[in-house]
Every structure is written in structure tokens, then in C-alpha cells.
Amino acid sequence: MIGLLWILLLALAWTAVNGEFTGGQLAAGLVLGTLITLFVRAPGSDYLRKAVVLFGFIGFFLWELVLANLRMARDVLSPRQRFAPGVIAVPLDLETEGAITAFSTLLTLTPGTLSLDISRDLKVLYIHDMYAADAGASRMAVKSGFERRIRRLLE
């Protein structure tokens, strides 16, 4: 309830600073206010470190998205098909449902991987991988790169 009040106050502050009280401005203020309160109330955190982790993650993700597209373009356009696709089981270290959702969603946008399904006990994520020749290496790459960062960000 107090959180809601804060969001409203921040939204009003946003419209005031922008100097125009319109529906669009208020909506933008509400979104920003929600983000800010979510961010600030994360337990046991100092904001600066959290901000660094968040921006580092966004940069990393955008880079992975570009890389994914470049590889995809190479695979589509090259005359010979060099990829070796397969379905791989990735054991999860993540524990909260939110983190697992974020991980499996964003993983689809990183090079070569496509989330297919999660086991009922949330322990294993099954992915389709374009480069599955070495399953152990694929698992390691996903876990040490992407999962570790999600974990640092959300758990």
C-alpha cells in the first residue's frame, strides 16, 4: 500500500518536472515509479552495485542478441550446413520461479539456443541447440555465461 503511494508520488513528480499533465506523461511516470520502487526495495542491496550489475547485464544481453543474429545469418546464408543441432538437458542452479522464467525466456534470444520445456520439478531446462556436437561444452557455456549472470542479478 505504501509502495503504491510512492509510485503515485513519483509519477506526479515526473509529470511536474516534465511540465505537462497528460495521460501519456502520467503513464510513463507510473512505469518509471514502479521500476524505481522495485529496484530500491530489493532486499539487502546497495543501489550502486545493483545498478552496475543491471547495466552490465543489459549490455551483455544486447551483445548476445547481436551475436545470435550474426550466427543465425551465417547459418542461413552459407551454402553448406555446418550446424549440428540437438536437444540438450541443462541442469538448473536457479531456484526462484522468476529467475528461471527470465533465464529461459532470454536464453531463447542468445546464440544457437531455444528453450523448449522445463521439468516439472524445475531442475532441468531442455533446450534446442544449433551447435550440440559437444553437449558438455554447450551446458557449460550456458551455465557459466548466462545463468551465472541471471543469478547475480535476480537471486
Partner 1 sequence: MQAAVTGTLVLVGAGLMLIAAIGVVRMPDLFTRMQATTKAATLGAGLVILGTAVNFATFSVTTRAVAAIAFVLLTAPIAAHLLGRAAYFLGVPLWEGSVRDELRDRYDWETHILDSEVRPEGALPPDHPRA
Q: List residues near partner 1 by CB under 8 A.
A: 18, 24, 27-28, 65-66, 68-69, 72-73, 75-77, 81, 83-89, 91, 104-109, 112, 114-121, 123-124, 126, 128, 130, 132-133, 135
Rg (CA), the chain: 20
Query: In whole angstroms, how close is the CB of 106 to partner 1 at the nearest point?
Result: 7
110 and 63 Cβ atoms separated by less than 8 Å: no
Complex with partner 1: residue 45 or 119, whichever CB lies closer: 119
Min CB(148)–partner 1 separation in Å: 20
Comparison of 84 and 140: residue with beta carbon closer to partner 1:
84
SS3 state at 120 = coil
Q: Residue 44 Cβ, how far from partner 1 at the closest point, in Å?
A: 28
Nearer CB in complex with partner 1: 5/54: 54
In the bound state with partner 1, the residue whose beta carbon lies nearer, of 45 and 96, is 96
- Nearer of residues 45 and 108 to partner 1, judged by Cβ: 108
24 in helix, strand or coil?
Answer: helix
Q: Which residue has the cell 541442469?
A: 91
**Nearest distance, CB of residue 23 and partner 1, angstroms:** 10
CA distance 43 to 45: 6
Residue 146, all three cell numbers: 548466462
Can you tell me which residue has the cell 521439468? 119
Nearest to 90 by CA among 109, 72, 103, 99: 103
Q: CA–CA separation, 106 vs 116, rounded Å? A: 12
Q: How far is the CB of 95 from partner 1 (least distance, A)?
A: 14
